[in-house]
Structure 1
Amino acid sequence: MKKEPIIAIEADASDPEDRPVSADGLEKALQGRRIRRLRQRLSLSQSEFAERYGIPVANLRQYEIGRTMPPPAVRAYLAVIEQEPEVTAEAYRKSQAA
């Protein structure tokens, strides 16, 4: 039996191109916004952020536009970056040199 998605935002009936947003879609969009704001707070482009923290830029792009949700380990890593961006970048750099 297929589970019906929970609609968080109904489609605008006056806009034929608008679609409803599911709760899952809303969660992805909010996570993407959080990642984008973190990256902007650090004054980094997507490429710079990806290189600095070892997250593939293609994945970062997908997360930021809300197309995909980062897996739990990546969400945890992003939380660490948010708390200690410089320490995290240094730890990643050292891990690559080893």
Structure 2
Amino acid sequence: MRANKETTIAIPADPNDPEDFDVTEAALERGLMGRRVRKLRNRLGMTQKEFANVFGIPANSIRQYEIGRYMPPPAVRAYLKVIEAEPEMVRRVMAG
């Protein structure tokens, strides 16, 4: 039986730091995905709003993904991979 990613601790809180907290596997995955989205956007030299306008992903969603609050749904994750691989081709398709 597989443990639940929302409850399985990936990084335990530091017991000597009262402000620290446990990080679950799911939170770690969201954080890593957020970093990936932010790095892609920065590589393209775009603000969140520019990235949203060019690639058709709501700016609020970009913000939420980047801070790790939400994991993009599978279709958006696939689309982000296409943008990573061929940003200019996607830009042309979206502009046309």
1:40 to 39, 42, 48: 42
Inter-partner Cα distance in structure 2 for 1:45 and 1:17:
31
Inter-partner Cα distance in structure 1 for 2:26 and 2:13:
15
Question: 1:13-38: per-residue Cα shift (whole Å, max 9, x none)?
Answer: 12212110000000000000000000
The runs of 5 or more residues in structure 1 that have no matched partner are none
* SS of structure 1 residue aligned to 2:19: coil
Question: 1:38-79: per-residue Cα shift (whole Å, max 9, x none)?
Answer: 000001011110101000000000000000000000000000
Displaced runs of 4 or more, over 3 A: none
The runs of 5 or more residues in structure 2 that have no matched partner are none
Inter-partner Cα distance in structure 2 for 1:78 and 1:65:
16
Q: Give TM-score scaled by structure 2 length.
A: 0.92
2:60 to 58, 61, 64: 58
RMSD value, Cα: 1.1
2:13 maps to 11
1:93 maps to 95
Inter-partner Cα distance in structure 2 for 1:18 and 1:8:
14
Q: Give TM-score scaled by structure 1 length.
A: 0.90
* SS of structure 1 residue aligned to 2:7: coil
Aligned residues: 92
